[in-house]
Amino acid sequence: MTITHEENEAIIGRASINDIEAILATPLVDPNEVEHVVKNNADSIFTWDYSLARPQLRKLYEKAKTGQWNGTTDLPWDMDVDVEKTVAEDQALIGNGIDPNWYAETPLAKWGDKEWLEFGIQSRKWSLSQFLHGEQGALICTAKITETVPWYDAKLYASTQVVDEARHVEVFARYLDEKLGGGYPINAHLEMLLDDIINDSRWDFTYLGMQIMVEGLALAAFGYLHQLTNEPLLKQLLRYVMSDEARHVAFGVLSLKEVYDGMSDAEIKDRQEFAYEASIRMRDRFLQQEVWRHMGVDPKVVVPLMVNDPGRKMFQQLLFAKIVPNCKKLGLLDRNDKWLRHRFEEMGVIQFENMENTGEEYLQFELGKEVGAPAAN
């Protein structure tokens, strides 16, 4: 049941998921680029059926209306952020995110505290920048869903998500600009994924790519950073964003469940392959090659070790804590002889399959409730 090289070539554009040369061969995005144009191939659909047909989506819509917050007035922007101090404190808790012993044969072996701190600061800027660009992707995708989804209840809900995403872009952009002194361009692998999602003409692919995959990963990543960091502004910012993000993932699960239950095996196979492709693109982006370059280290020397670094593997697996149970809920894991299950087994993330899916747990993320990051196992 292992995936063949030909299958991988067709789906992700390379024979092996760990082909480092191929991953690094993707050119970096030009830092001077101001605009990026993507063709949106989908039809805009009116519906004249204004009846309440999907109560779960309408409930989500009501929750969204009362869950609004104001990025300008609800966050303590006048607070000073000491970047070096906050990154140093976070590093003291979990280390550098990678195990220095693992890189004994590389230039990293000579790094002292100063270099590791700088790496931590750049990583923070880079991560939040990718969140920011992903949020803009969500803004565009949700505007697209408002137009393309044929259901009235879903159009109402999607319109609230557009506002949510505008707020997320606003707060991440402001934090990067005012508190971290600027960020990084979008990672090429993330850009490819967002382009694919927007390009596709089938409306459920926007949901699958954005609400299930990108936002599923974001919800887990935000949860991780929210639990880790002691920087009060960032912690609060992430908590607010997560309260929206859980609703967004729930929107994907609740909408697609109905559609996928009625699909043929061949149609489901297309969705399974797309989910796999998205998983690989997101995994590739976390190799943070832009940060290595900034630090003067050739990614070709470090990245091959990174893919097997036990500390990083655990972090990477954690990112799939929401995606796997949600794919299971949608029936994507086991259709077509368990095709996606086998891919998630190969990626080492199948252990999350029995965690609660976001369609059921989203209310736990409402503001005022305690949230924790997903457990590793």
311/317 Cα distance (integer angstroms): 10
Which of 36-44, 70-78, 247-255, 295-303 is the region at the interface with Fe ion (rule: CB under 5 A)?
A: 247-255
- Tell which one of 23, 98, 121, 138 touches Fe ion (CB under 5 A): 138
Q: Which two tokens stand for residue 218?
A: 């974001």
In the complex with Fe ion, the residue whose CB is nearer, 245 or 309, is 245
Q: Which of 119, 70, 241 is nearest to 172 (CA)?
A: 241
| Shortest Å distance, C-beta 313 to Fe ion | 26
**Position 343 contacts Fe ion (CB under 5 A):** no
In the complex with Fe ion, the residue whose CB is nearer, 191 or 215, is 215
Q: Please report, to the nearest 10 degrees, the dihedral formed by the alpha carbons of residues 250, 68, 167, 229 taken in order.
A: -80
| x/- map, 25-64, Fe ion, by CB under 5 A | ----------------------------------------
| Shortest Å distance, C-beta 98 to Fe ion | 27
In the complex with Fe ion, the residue whose CB is nearer, 121 or 156, is 156
Which of 182-190, 232-240, 246-254, 341-349 is the region at the interface with Fe ion (rule: CB under 5 A)?
A: 246-254
In the complex with Fe ion, the residue whose CB is nearer, 244 or 273, is 244
In the complex with Fe ion, the residue whose CB is nearer, 124 or 248, is 248
- Tell which one of 124, 125, 167, 248 touches Fe ion (CB under 5 A): 248
In the complex with Fe ion, the residue whose CB is nearer, 215 or 231, is 215
| x/- map, 167-186, Fe ion, by CB under 5 A | -x------------------
| Shortest Å distance, C-beta 358 to Fe ion | 12
- 290 phi and psi angles, rounded to 5 deg: -65, -35
Contact 181, 82 (CB under 8 A): no
In the complex with Fe ion, the residue whose CB is nearer, 164 or 309, is 164
| x/- map, 197-236, Fe ion, by CB under 5 A | ------------------x---------------------
Which of 18-26, 161-169, 289-297, 311-319 is the region at the interface with Fe ion (rule: CB under 5 A)?
A: 161-169
In the complex with Fe ion, the residue whose CB is nearer, 65 or 85, is 65
**Position 140 contacts Fe ion (CB under 5 A):** no
| Shortest Å distance, C-beta 139 to Fe ion | 8
**Position 135 contacts Fe ion (CB under 5 A):** yes
Judged by CB under 5 A, the number of residues near Fe ion is: 7
Contacts to Fe ion by CB under 5 A: 135, 138, 165, 168, 215, 245, 248
